[in-house]
Chains A and B, each alone.
Chain A
C-alpha cells in the first residue's frame, strides 16, 4: 500500500516534521537515527538550501551548472586511451595532436573548456600545454599545439587531456 501525506494549501500551508527514530528498525528506512533522510524514488523540489536556509540552489541552477560531459584522456598512451569519462561514447584519435570526443547524447547550445598537460609536470617549461576546442552538438574537436616547441605551434600528443561540457538540456 502506498501512503501519502498531503498539506492543505487553503489553510495557509504548513510543514511536516518527521522525528528520527530512537532506534533503527525495518520500518524506519525513511529516516535513520542520525536524522539522515533516504529516498528511493524521485524527489520533486523547487529549491534546496543548507540546514540554516542559506546557500540555496534551484534545481534549474543545479542542472544548468552541472557538467553534461567530461573526460580524462591519455592522448599519448600506448595506445591512446580514455582514463575516465562521463556521457562520452568514444574518443577518436584523429592524428598527432588531434582528437575528437564523441558525446553519448545530442546537446543543445553546448559550451565548455578543454585543457592539456604534456606530461605529469605542469611546470615543465619545455612545453606549453595548450588545447583548443570546437564544440558541436554531438562532439568536441580538440587540437593540442606545443607553443614552446619547434616548429612553433606544432601539434603534439599530451599525456593528460581534460574537458568539461555544459548544455541547456
Chain B
C-alpha cells in the first residue's frame, strides 16, 4: 500500500477541515507523517483516498463525521 492511498482529516478551529495527503517519496511511515504533520490536540481520522469527494465545488463547506 502506498502512503498516498490514505488521507488524514482533522477539523480546524473555524469548522473547516484540512486533508493531509502523505507523500510516497519519503522515508517516513504513515504513522510518522501523521504525528509530524497533523496538529496535536485534535482528533485526526485516517481514511482511504477513495473516501474523499472528487467534486471540489463546495470544498470549503466540507465537514467530516465518522
Question: What total count of A-B pairs have CB within 8 Å?
Answer: 79
Q: Do residues A92 and B33 form an inter-chain contact, with CB atoms below 8 A?
A: no
A129 in the interface (beta carbon within 8 A): no
Is there contact, CB below 8 Å, between A79 and B24?
no
Interface of A is mostly: strand
- Structural contact, B37 and A84, CB atoms closer than 8 A: no
Report whether A90 and B21 are in contact in the complex, using a CB–CB cutoff of 8 Å: yes
Give complex CA distance A115, B26 in Å: 22
Report the separation of the CA atoms of residues A157 and B19 in the bound assembly, to the nearest whole angstrom. 14
With contact pairs A87-B26, A104-B26, A104-B27 given, residues A92 and B21 touching in the complex (Cβ less than 8 Å):
yes
Q: A147 at interface (Cβ–Cβ under 8 A)?
A: no
Determine how close the nearest CB of chain A comes to the CB of B63; give it in whole angstroms: 13
Q: Given the interface contacts A89-B28, A89-B37, does A96 sit within 8 Å of B60 by beta carbon?
A: yes
Chain A positions within 8 Å of B27 at CB level: 104
Judge if A91 is at the interface, Cβ distance under 8 Å.
Answer: yes
A89 touching B56 by the CB < 8 A rule? no
Please count how many residues in chain A sit with their CB below 8 Å of the partner chain's CB atoms: 22
Give 8 nearest A-B pairs by CB, closest first: A78-B54, A79-B52, A102-B37, A93-B19, A88-B23, A90-B37, A90-B22, A96-B59
- Contact residues in B for A93 (Cβ distance below 8 Å): 18-21, 59
Contact of A79 among B16, B19, B23, B37 (CB under 8 A): B19
Taking the closest CB of chain A, its distance from the CB of B29, in whole angstroms, is: 10
Minimum CB–CB distance for B58 against chain A, Å: 9
**Minimal beta-carbon separation of A148 from chain B (angstroms):** 19
Contact between chains at A88 and B25 (CB < 8 Å)? yes
Interface contact A92-B56, CB-CB below 8 Å: no
Q: List residues of chain B with CB within 8 A of the CB of A79.
A: 7, 19, 21, 49, 52-54
Closest residue of A by beta carbon distance from B62:
A95
CB-nearest residue of chain A to B32: A89
- A86, A87, A92: the one contacting B20 at CB < 8 Å is A92
List chain A residues, Cβ under 8 A from B19: 79-80, 92-93
Question: Given the complex of chains A and B, what is the CA–CA distance between A88 and B8 in angstroms?
Answer: 16
CB pair B21–A91 under 8 Å, yes or no, is: yes
Whether A96 lies near B23 (C-beta < 8 A) is no
CA distance A76 to B60 in the complex (A): 13
